[in-house]
C-alpha cells in the first residue's frame, strides 16, 4: 500500500503527493510515554513557551543551507505575545502594581490583546483593549470571546492613537496599564525563555544567523541579547518593512529630533505587516538597538507570498510577519556561505488573518477547485 506503518521509531513511509516522504516521529512517542510536561498543568499560562524549532525543506530553503523556524504559534493562544502577557501580569502581581480584581488595559494590534485577555480570564481581572481600526476583525472577536472589552480607535490615529487612548483610560479610571512598548518585563521574559529555548535546541549545532522582525522589540532585544551572550558567533538579522516600497516606518526611516518621521521621508504610511514596526520607536526596541548585525527590508507583498508558500510547501501556517521573517531568512541564506544554519521567528498563526490579504487569493482558487470537484463528482453537495 502507499502508506505503511512499522515501528515507533520510523513509522510512516508515504508515497502520496511529492514522492516518498519518510517521517520519524519518535519524539511524539517519547512524549506519549510520559516525557511531556510530566504532570498536569495548574492553568493555561503554564503552557506558554517551549515552542518547537522546525526544519524548512529545500522547497523553500536554498540548497546547502539549513533554516529552522521557531514556531511561536504553538503557544496556547497561537502567538509569541502569550509570553509577553504572562511576563507583564506576573511581574505586576509580584511587585504589587496590579491589585486583585483591578482592570487591566492595553493598546495592541491584536495578538497582545488576545494574550492579555487569556491571562485576565484565567486570573480574574477585567480586561479592556484599545486597537486601531485596520487590524483584522477576527482579533477583536477573539478578545471579546475571552471576555475582554475592545475599544476600536480611528485608522487615522494609527498605533500612536490606540496607545494614547489606553493611557487616557488608565489615568481616568485607575486601571493597570501594561506598557508593552516600555516595560523591561517584556524583553526580560524573552531573555529568560525564548533565547534559552533556541540555544538549547541548537546545542551541538552551529547557529550562524538568527532572523527576527520587531513590534515592541521584545523578542529581538531579549532573545537577541541571550543569543549574543551565549552564541557570540551568531549574527542577528533584523527585518522591517522596506522604505523602497513606500511603506517604511521603522528604524531606517528619517526622523525629526522628536522622533516623528521627517516630512522629507516619502515612505511614512501604514505598512501591510500587522504586529510589526509601529509608527514610533518603542523603548523596548531602542534599548536593544546595536544587537543587530544587519537590517533587511521586506518588499511589499513578500510577507504574504512567503506565508502562503510556507503553508503549501511545509504545512506551516503562520501570519504575514512570519512570512516576512522567513523571506528575510531565505534572502540571508542565499548570500550566506555554503553550510550556513539559520533560525527564523514565526510569531503567530495564519488563522489570525482569515479576513486579510493573506487569504484573499486563497478564497479565489479554492472556489475554482471546488467547482472542478463538483463537476466530476455527481453527488458533491456545494
Ligand atoms: N509579529 C506579530 C504578528 C506580532 O503581533 C508581534 C508583536 N506585536 C510581532 C511580530 C513582534 O514581536 P515583538 O513585540 O516581540 O517585537
Q: By alpha-carbon position, which residue is closest to atom 11 of ligand 1?
A: 215
C-beta of 222 in contact with ligand 1 (< 6 A): no
Q: What is the pLDDT of residue 5?
A: 35
244: cell is 523602497
Say how far residue 241 (Cα) sits from the centre of its chain. Answer: 15
Give Cβ neighbours of residue 374 (< 8 Å, ≥ 6 apart): 380, 382
Question: In this model, does residue 29 exceed pLDDT 80?
Answer: no
For residue 108, report the distance from its CA to the centre of ligand 1, in Å.
10
- Model pTM score: 0.87
For residue 347, report the distance from its CA to the centre of ligand 1, in Å.
6
Whether 321 is catalytic: yes
Mean pLDDT of 16-44: 69
For residue 215, report the distance from its CA to the centre of ligand 1, in Å.
4
Is this prediction's ipTM beyond 0.90? yes
Q: Which H or E run includes 122?
A: helix 111-123
Q: Which of 123-132, 178-187, 356-365 has the lowest mean pLDDT?
A: 356-365
C-beta of 218 in contact with ligand 1 (< 6 A): yes
For residue 381, report the distance from its CA to the centre of ligand 1, in Å.
41
C-beta of 214 in contact with ligand 1 (< 6 A): yes
Backbone angles phi, psi at 129, to 5 degrees: -120, 135
C-beta of 224 in contact with ligand 1 (< 6 A): no
Mean pLDDT of 23-51: 80
From residue 207, alpha-carbon distances to 52, 227, 328 in Å are 16, 10, 16
Q: What percent of the chain has pLDDT over 70?
A: 83
Whether 287 is catalytic: no
Are the CB atoms for 276 and 241 separated by under 8 Å?
A: yes
When the pLDDT of each residue in the chain is averaged and rounded to a whole number, the result is 86
Mean pLDDT of 310-338: 97
Q: What is the pLDDT of residue 6?
A: 37
From residue 195, alpha-carbon distances to 50, 157, 188, 341 in Å are 11, 34, 10, 16
Amino acid at each position: 500500500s502507499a502508506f505503511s506503518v512499522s515501528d515507533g521509531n520510523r513509522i510512516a513511509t508515504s508515497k502520496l503527493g511529492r514522492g516518498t516522504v519518510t517521517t520519524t516521529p519518535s519524539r511524539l512517542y517519547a512524549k506519549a510515554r510520559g516525557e511531556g510536561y510530566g504532570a498536569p498543568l495548574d492553568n493555561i499560562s503554564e503552557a506558554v513557551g517551549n515552542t518547537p524549532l522546525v526544519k524548512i525543506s529545500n522547497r523553500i530553503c536554498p540548497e546547502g543551507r539549513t533554516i529552522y523556524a521557531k514556531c511561536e504559534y504553538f503557544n496556547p493562544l497561537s502567538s509569541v505575545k502569550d509570553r509577553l502577557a504572562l511576563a507583564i501580569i506576573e511581574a505586576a502581581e509580584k511587585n504589587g502594581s496590579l491589585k486583585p480584581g483591578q482592570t487591566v488595559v492595553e493598546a495592541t494590534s491584536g495578538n497582545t490583546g488576545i494574550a492579555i485577555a487569556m491571562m485576565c480570564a484565567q486570573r480574574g481581572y477585567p480586561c479592556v483593549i484599545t486597537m486601531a481600526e485596520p487590524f483584522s476583525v477576527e482579533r477583536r472577536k477573539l478578545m471579546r470571546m475571552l471576555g475582554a472589552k475592545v475599544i476600536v480607535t480611528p485608522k487615522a490615529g494609527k498605533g500612536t492613537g490606540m496607545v494614547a487612548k489606553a493611557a487616557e483610560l488608565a489615568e481616568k479610571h485607575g486601571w493597570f496599564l501594561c506598557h508593552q512598548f516600555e516595560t523591561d518585563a517584556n524583553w526580560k521574559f524573552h531573555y529568560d525563555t525564548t533565547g534559552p529555548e533556541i540555544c538549547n535546541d541548537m546545542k551541538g549545532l552551529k547557529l550562524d544567523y538568527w532572523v527576527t522582525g520587531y513590534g515592541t522589540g521584545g523578542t529581538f532585544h531579549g532573545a537577541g541579547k541571550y543569543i549574543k551572550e551565549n552564541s557570540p558567533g551568531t549574527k542577528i538579522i533584523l527585518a522591517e518593512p522596506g522604505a523602497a516600497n513606500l511603506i517604511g516606518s521603522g528604524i531606517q526611516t528619517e526622523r525629526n529630533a522628536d522622533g516623528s518621521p521627517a516630512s522629507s521621508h516619502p515612505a511614512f504610511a501604514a505598512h501591510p505587516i500587522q504586529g510589526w514596526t509601529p509608527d514610533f520607536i518603542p523603548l523596548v526596541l531602542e534599548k536593544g538597538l546595536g544587537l543587530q548585525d544587519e537590517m533587511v527590508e521586506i518588499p511589499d507583498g513578500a510577507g504574504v507570498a512567503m506565508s502562503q508558500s510556507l503553508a503549501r510547501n511545509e504545512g506551516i501556517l503562520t501570519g504575514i510577519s512570519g512570512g516576512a521573517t522567513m523571506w528575510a531568512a531565505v534572502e540571508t541564506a542565499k548570500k550566506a556561505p555554503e553550510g550556513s544554519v539559520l533560525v527564523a521567528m514565526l510569531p503567530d498563526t495564519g488563522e489570525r488573518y482569515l479576513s486579510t490579504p493573506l487569504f484573499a487569493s486563497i478564497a479565489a482558487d479554492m472556489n475554482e477547485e471546488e467547482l472542478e470537484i463538483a463537476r466530476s463528482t455527481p453527488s458533491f453537495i456545494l
